[in-house]
Amino acid sequence: MSRRTIVLSSSLGTTTRMWDAQVPSLEARFDVLHAKRQAQRGVTMRDLARQVLAQADAAGVERFSFAGISIGGAIGLELALLAPARLERLVVACTSAHFGPPGPWQERAAIVRRDGLEAIADAVVSRWFTPVFHAEQPDVVSRFHAEFEATPREPYAFLCEALGAYDVRDLLGSIRTPTLVVAGADDLAAPPSYGEEIASGIGCELVVLPDAAHLANVEQPRAFATAMLDHLQKGAS
């Protein structure tokens, strides 16, 4: 029997390394693909979902599971709406069905285009982890800070604008893919109430991880992996 496939989608301003703690346990059970994003002017979240489908097509994968953090989770919701027949199971974490009005996202895009990601790095990364994690794991925080600053500014700005235009709140009830929603109890960027809205709209399970902020899979790697694998393996034949 052929192995199942999972596609992983990272948070905005991070790299595939954000999944390092989960990949070994996933690779024992799945073929793992990392979603690639091509951001150009006018890109939408639906376009990013189509890119995932094209990547799966190129890999010869018809059906797959999907797990995404933050913007990656939003792409997962779009996938479930766009191509439910392609999705086996879905994990969306630290995300929302709507990230607020477009104005602040457009302002962030403008700042990044003008001054680079360095101008917002401290403010953004400070919200990714709890104060305790900042104090106890400064090397990890510094790595994510450096990777954030190294993110190309124009694609980042395009993705900010895509997030500002994204809103699937009224469509959640049509999602039929078996879904798990994960939230970090201390997430300021996508608080548990956002996860509650998604879970309520779909009618699926919500897991809130204690002592975790926006990058919950980095801050609580074991608890995150356990919740994710429990959900994904429910679909094993």
pLDDT above 70 for 108: yes
How sure is the predictor about 45, in pLDDT bands with cuts at 50, 70 and 90? very high
**Percent of the chain residues past pLDDT 70, beyond the cut:** 98
Domains of the chain are 4-98+167-233 (3.40.50.1820)
Three-state DSSP class for residue 35:
coil
Average pLDDT over residues 72-97: 98
What would the pLDDT profile of 155-201 be if each residue is shown by its tens digit? 999 999 999 999 999 999 999 999 999 999 999 999 999 999 999 99
Scanning the structure block, which residue is given the tokens 């429990």? Answer: 230
Rounded to 5 degrees, φ, ψ at 75 are -65, -40
Please classify residue 142 by burial: count the beta carbons closer than 10 Å to its beta carbon, then call 0-12 exposed, 13-18 middle and 19+ buried.
exposed
- Residue 56 has a pLDDT of 98
What would the pLDDT profile of 93-106 be if each residue is shown by its tens digit? 999 999 999 999 99
In this structure, are residues 95 and 206 in contact, taking their beta carbons and an 8 Å threshold?
Answer: no
Average pLDDT over residues 24-28: 95
pTM for the structure as a whole: 0.96
How far the first Cα of the chain sits from its last, in Å, is: 10
* Rounded distance between C-alpha atoms, residue 67 and residue 47, angstroms: 17
In this structure, are residues 67 and 231 in contact, taking their beta carbons and an 8 Å threshold?
Answer: no
pLDDT above 90 for 216: yes
